[in-house]
Structure 1
Amino acid sequence: MLTVKPRLREILKERGITQEQLSKMTGIPQPSISRFDKNKQHLNWHLFSIAGALELLVEELFVIEE
């Protein structure tokens, strides 16, 4: 069984970016970014917008464990 967890908090901390700044970069409301970070909601367009703004692959937004 795979376990998939977002690693957005870690990425933002490494880059010195806040959720509010990411919200401005992507056009995604900050509460939606928080829900993504807490593994509560992953909308497809959010994933691609966040990955694009951070210059990452979508897969790099997650830790995948078997």
Structure 2
Amino acid sequence: MPCVFCSIMSGDLSARWVARAPDAVAFLPFPTRALAPGHTLVVPREHSVGVHDATPAAFTAAG
């Protein structure tokens, strides 16, 4: 199964962009997935399978 975040960053899936930076991006999730109005996801551009797989650089990318 392809990574949904990588698919959004590559443009294969649409998103409402809040910010795009070299190391991280921020976007609004699809309305059916939003936890609350204004709920924004910030993710590093570096792919990882899960939190335990992420590099230290990925954790600081959105900082």
Same fold per TM (> 0.5)?
A: no
Larger fraction in helix: 1
Give the structure-2-normalised TM-score: 0.26
Give the structure-1-normalised TM-score: 0.26
